[in-house]
Structure 1
Amino acid sequence: MSVKSIIPQSRIISSLQRMKHIGIVDITTVGACLCANEIVAQAAKIDSSGKHPDFTMHAFSYDQYKDCIIRKDWISLANKVCESIRLLEKVGADFVIIPSNTPHFAIDLIEKNSPLKVVNLIKIVADECQRQGFSKVLVLGTKLTMQGGLYNEVLNSKNITPMIPTDDVCDKIEHLIRNEIIPSQINSSTVENIQQDIQKYDCDAVILGCTELPVVYNENNLGKPVVDTTRLLGQYAFKFACDDNLSPK
């Protein structure tokens, strides 16, 4: 999706002089850095001078979030995310993004208690699926994201059917994310094995519903259209930083 297709280029160029400061809540650093890089890349498409929105990233130790996710303790997770947001507010952030899918199980609590506007990744992804005319999508992500139905309600509301892999494939993807991508110990045979599994599914597109998955998967190696949640969030954050008329999802 092109930024230019949403906002007139002339408006973006003028807005580069008064961009909002983006706060990034870093749950897992791999996904957060990919998203930050996409913000810079989007700016470079408009202005080759190197100008891009200011952004500040804050990270608590990942284990503090991981423990909440394992327990499905969304209240504690939301409190920890909002603690991070308050620190970002102190350094001048105007709004925040959370480049991590699974914590969006707590998005209602986060939005309710956040001192800053929070961009809702799940809604952005569903809107993109609708924009591209997909009617049946395969959702990949952590086992909880897939089997917990994180995307079900918002996709169903747009008459898009969410699919998830079988239990054994979900286990493989969970292992890949937790034990290989996050600690940077990727085994190519694991990646290829899952790739072969995914190619068997009859779907219009694949949602990479974990911000680490774009490290190993894309349209070329999956052989299907891909909705890259990491880069999509970065693109939207850039647009929102540049356009006063665009509201956060």
Structure 2
Amino acid sequence: MSVKSIIQQSGIISNLQRMKHIGIVDITTVGACLCANEIVAQAAKIDSSGKHPEFTMHAFSYDQYKDSICRKDWSSLADKICESIRLLEKIGADFIIIPSNTPHFAIDLIEKNSPLKVVNLIKIVADECQRKGFSKVLVLGTKLTMQGGLYNEVLNSKNITPMIPTDNVCDKIEHLIRKEIIPSQINSTTVEDVQQDIKKYDCDAVILGCTELPVVYNENNLGKPIVDTTRLLGQYALKLACDDNFSPK
């Protein structure tokens, strides 16, 4: 179902006149920009005049996030993200999205300490899998997202079985994300190698559980339905920004 249909059916304003200000915490700029572009692109399908929600993006240097993630120091990561959120609040943001999957290991701490409502990406992805009737999904992402079970609890609660690739394939995907996509040094051989590995898995769909992966993968080249977490978050943010019944934290 399109964002336009959802907005019209749910009674949310479709003229985009009273939109909320979206705050975007930029962990990796590739994913954050893809998400922001999706907000603008979907808004254009609703109103061709060029209206879209105001949004502000803030990023600290990526190494500051990366250090906390590598140490699995979720408290430190949450503090850094909430620092961004407080800056976005001062600028006028009404709610927050975080277009990055792995930092959602800290989502409970982030929600607890954030002065603004924070969208939980993991929950909306699981809801989308349930809505589409998937029963077995392959979760892709950083090695920590895959092997740390970021999606396990929420998918299991909906009777959806999460699958993860083998250690070898996880290593390949980690390399692709960290060493090629994020620094914009993509090697087509790596992309095709991982693509062939993914196609071997027996699943209903593939969760692109890293917001950078849509840069290289889609339903056409994977040959399977996908859940694009980056664009899904952008669509959800647009819906929330246009919701007259929106309530802040």
Judge conservation of contact 2:20–2:241 (CA < 8 Å) in 1: yes
Query: Structure 2: which 5+ residue stretches go unaligned?
Result: none
Separation (CA, whole Å) in 2 of partners of 1:205 and 1:187: 25
Separation (CA, whole Å) in 2 of partners of 1:246 and 1:164: 36
- Listed one character per residue, the Cα deviations across residues 136-183 of structure 1 (whole Å, up to 9, x for unaligned) are 000000000000000000000000000000000000000000000000
Judge conservation of contact 1:13–1:46 (CA < 8 Å) in 2: no
Separation (CA, whole Å) in 1 of partners of 2:164 and 2:95: 32
Judge conservation of contact 1:119–1:248 (CA < 8 Å) in 2: no
Separation (CA, whole Å) in 1 of partners of 2:84 and 2:181: 24
- Listed one character per residue, the Cα deviations across residues 100-137 of structure 1 (whole Å, up to 9, x for unaligned) are 00000000000000000000000000000000000000
How far apart are residue 232 of structure 1 and its match? Answer: 0.0
- Listed one character per residue, the Cα deviations across residues 68-125 of structure 1 (whole Å, up to 9, x for unaligned) are 0000000000000000000000000000000000000000000000000000000000
Judge conservation of contact 1:78–1:109 (CA < 8 Å) in 2: yes
**Identical amino acids, percent of aligned pairs:** 91
The alignment's TM-score, normalised by the length of structure 1, stands at: 0.97
Judge conservation of contact 2:24–2:97 (CA < 8 Å) in 1: yes
Separation (CA, whole Å) in 2 of partners of 1:52 and 1:6: 16
How far apart are residue 2 of structure 1 and its match? Answer: 1.1
Instruction: Say how many residue pairs are matched.
Output: 249
How far apart are residue 3 of structure 1 and its match? Answer: 1.2
Judge conservation of contact 1:19–1:241 (CA < 8 Å) in 2: yes
Structure 1 residues 45 and 101: alpha-carbon distance in aligned structure 2, compared to 1, 3 A threshold? same
Judge conservation of contact 1:146–1:170 (CA < 8 Å) in 2: yes
Structure 1 residues 174 and 247: alpha-carbon distance in aligned structure 2, compared to 1, 3 A threshold? farther
Query: Structure 1: which 5+ residue stretches go unaligned?
Result: none
How far apart are residue 13 of structure 1 and its match? Answer: 4.6
How far apart are residue 6 of structure 1 and its match? Answer: 2.2
Structure 1 residues 232 and 247: alpha-carbon distance in aligned structure 2, compared to 1, 3 A threshold? farther
Instruction: Say which SS state the counterpart of residue 138 (structure 2) adopts.
Output: strand
Separation (CA, whole Å) in 1 of partners of 2:51 and 2:12: 12
Structure 1 stretches of 4+ with a deviation exceeding 4 A read: 9-15, 246-249
Structure 1 residues 146 and 248: alpha-carbon distance in aligned structure 2, compared to 1, 3 A threshold? farther
How far apart are residue 15 of structure 1 and its match? Answer: 5.2
Separation (CA, whole Å) in 1 of partners of 2:64 and 2:153: 28
Instruction: Say which SS state the counterpart of residue 11 (structure 2) adopts.
Output: helix
The alignment's TM-score, normalised by the length of structure 2, stands at: 0.97
Separation (CA, whole Å) in 2 of partners of 1:14 and 1:241: 11
Structure 1 residues 136 and 248: alpha-carbon distance in aligned structure 2, compared to 1, 3 A threshold? farther
Separation (CA, whole Å) in 1 of partners of 2:30 and 2:96: 17
TM alignment of 1:70-89, pairs within 5 A:
70-89=70-89
